[in-house]
Amino acid sequence: MGLTLDGKLVVAISSRALFDFEEENQVFEQNDDHAYMQLQRQRLDVPAKPGVAFSLVKKLLAFNEPDSQRVEVVILSRNDPVSGMRVFRSAQHYGLAIQRGNFTRGEAPWRYLKPLHANLFLSTHLSDVRAALAAGVPAAQVYPHSAHASADHPSEVRIAFDGDAVLFSDEAEQVYQSGGLTAFQKHEMDKVAQPLPDGPFKPLLVALHRLQQARIPHIRIRTALVTARSAPAHERAILTLMNWNIDVDQAMFLGGLDKGEFLREFEPDFFFDDQTGHIESAARHVPSGHVASGVRN
């Protein structure tokens, strides 16, 4: 039997999400891919600076031990193979145990997510993220201008999720959009005992929960639900998580308050939300990604 990634937490990530290639990307946008490739070739031995999702990847890889490889990170990039050499050399420079990568030189790489059995795809290309979500893979568009993660929690992978249209379906959000707050609250109270349908990021939360059960002494996962819901609509969200047999470490029911400052205090390695306004607010403080799903998108 051949090698398989089954049973692992598989994160597929683009080059620009893992490393800061914004200067090189400007060359690509102002010229063509040949000028970009030439610049990357000239910089093969210059390690790229860490990008927005670097902290998340580094900490997740800390779950691996010599006799138990629990996390697989795969580069899935529109870069060309020569630029891919620099990506791998940069990963080696920082001690990131990344061995696999697909480099497509401009073609959409999302089709390789299925054979990878990916639990998460992070990319700066919105079209690839939309295609991945449509294929059933949790995916988010990384905002390259996002703040980088705090170094204050080296032994914790901190991840924050929005609720509706991210962990949960956008069923309730559709009611809010069509009928307003009163209709939304009535809908949620009428259905409080019914678990919310699964959202696009439930599979990732399940995979993280499974990874946490390994109980590695030097690293743990800390999760937060950060939602615009407020009482009484909070109950259905919590009861849904209970139905899934999944605990989150924190829950913030903000009732429409700006999420950015609360996330600044939580200090996640990454935050996922379906609304660009929330992401723009969060990105000033923490690494952030847009989940392009649901009625808002």
Predicted pLDDT at 141: 98
HSE-CB of 186 using CA atoms within 13 angstroms: 6
The pLDDT assigned to 65 comes to 93
**Alpha helices, H only, 107-215:** 113-116, 126-134, 171-190, 202-212
CATH 3.40.50.1000 segments of the chain: 9-142, 156-290
- Which amino acid is present at 84? G
- The pLDDT tens digits of the residues spanning 20-46 come to 988 887 877 776 778 888 888 999 999
Rounded distance between C-alpha atoms, residue 237 and residue 56, angstroms:
25
For residue 185, what are its two tokens? 């609250």
Instruction: Give the integer Cα–Cα distance in Å for 197 and 240.
Output: 9
Spatial separation of the C-alpha atoms in residues 218 and 220, rounded to whole Å: 7
Q: Are 53 and 18 in contact (CB under 8 A)?
A: yes
- Residue 295 has a pLDDT of 84
Q: What is the Cα–Cα distance from 126 to 30, expressed in whole angstroms?
A: 20
- Which pTM was predicted? 0.93
**CATH of span 9-142:** 3.40.50.1000
The predicted structure's pLDDT at residue 51? 97
DSSP element (H, E) containing 191: none
Q: Report the C-alpha gap between 283 and 158 in whole angstroms.
A: 15
pLDDT bucket at 2, cuts 50 / 70 / 90: low
Tell me how far apart the alpha carbons of residues 131 and 128 are, in angstroms, rounded to a whole number.
5
Instruction: Name the pLDDT band for 171 (thresholds 50, 70, 90).
Output: confident
C-beta neighbour count of 270 within 10 angstroms = 25
60-86 tens-digit pLDDT:
999 999 989 999 999 999 988 989 999
Sign of the alpha-carbon dihedral angle for 120, 227, 177, 282: negative
Tens-digit pLDDT profile for residues 112-164: 999 999 999 999 999 999 999 999 999 999 999 999 999 999 999 999 999 99
Please state, rounded to an integer, the average pLDDT across all residues of the chain: 93
pLDDT band per the 50, 70, 90 thresholds, residue 294: confident
- The answer to which of 19-23, 132-136, 180-184, 212-216 has the lowest mean pLDDT is 180-184
pLDDT given at position 1: 47
Q: Which of 128, 162, 164, 170 is labelled catalytic?
A: 162
Of 150, 153, 142, residue with least CA distance to 264: 150
CATH number of 156-290: 3.40.50.1000
Burial 195-230 (b: 16+ CB within 10 A, else e): ebeebbbbbbbebbbebbeeebeebbbbbbbbbbbe
Q: Does the active-site annotation cover 162?
A: yes
